């Protein structure tokens, strides 16, 4: 099936730095979701976006639904050690509840001491 183009693939940052990652698609999505996954666990929903242009925050996390509906970004401000993990974007043609999600390949966030 189709996959989203997610970048960067990995990020090596220092604690306190801001992080930015994004996803693009050749198709229009009506819902964008951002998840975080830690080793051996299922993804945890971070932010859900339903309208083009929508900008939503969840604590230090901010995500935007691109105007073209073909892209989304996630920013993490002032990173802390517990932010380590793999972040996935996911798109859905419906509202996200009725159809399966198309996932990006993930961004592996590593915080250097």
Partner 1 sequence: GAVVSQHPSRVICKSGTSVKIECRSLDFQATTMFWYRQFPKKSLMLMATSNEGSKATYEQGVEKDKFLINHASLTLSTLTVTSAHPEDSSFYICSASFRRMADIGEQYFGPGTRLTVT
Q: Which stretch binds partner 1 (CB under 8 A): 21-29, 52-60, 77-85, 92-100?
A: 92-100
CA gap 113, 3 in Å, rounded: 33
Q: Would the CA dihedral through 12, 6, 45, 77 be positive or negative?
A: positive
Task: Provide the mask over 44-83, with x wherever binding to partner 1 is found by CB under 8 A and - wherever it is not.
Answer: xx--x-x---------------------------------
Q: What whole-number distance in Å separates Cα of residue 81 and Cα of residue 70? A: 31
Q: Which is nearer to partner 1, 56 or 77 (CB)?
A: 56
Q: Tell me whether residue 98 is exposed, middle or buried, using C-beta atoms within 10 angstroms of its C-beta: 0 to 12, 13 to 18, 19 or more.
A: exposed
Using CB under 8 A as the binding rule, whether residue 94 contacts partner 1 is answered as yes
List residues near partner 1 by CB under 8 A: 1, 3, 30, 33, 35, 40-45, 48, 50, 88, 94-106
């Amino acid at each position: 099936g189709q996959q989203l183009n997610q970048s960067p693939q990995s990020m090596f940052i220092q604690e306190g730095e801001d992080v930015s990652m994004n996803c693009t698609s050749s198709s229009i999505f009506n819902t964008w979701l951002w998840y975080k996954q830690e080793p051996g666990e299922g993804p945890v929903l971070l932010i859900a976006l339903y309208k083009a242009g929508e900008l939503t925050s969840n604590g230090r996390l901010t995500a935007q639904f691109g105007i073209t509906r073909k892209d989304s970004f996630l920013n993490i401000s002032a990173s802390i050690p517990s932010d380590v993990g793999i972040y996935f974007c996911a798109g859905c043609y419906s509202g996200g509840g009725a159809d399966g999600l198309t996932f990006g390949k993930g961004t592996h966030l590593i915080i250097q001491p």
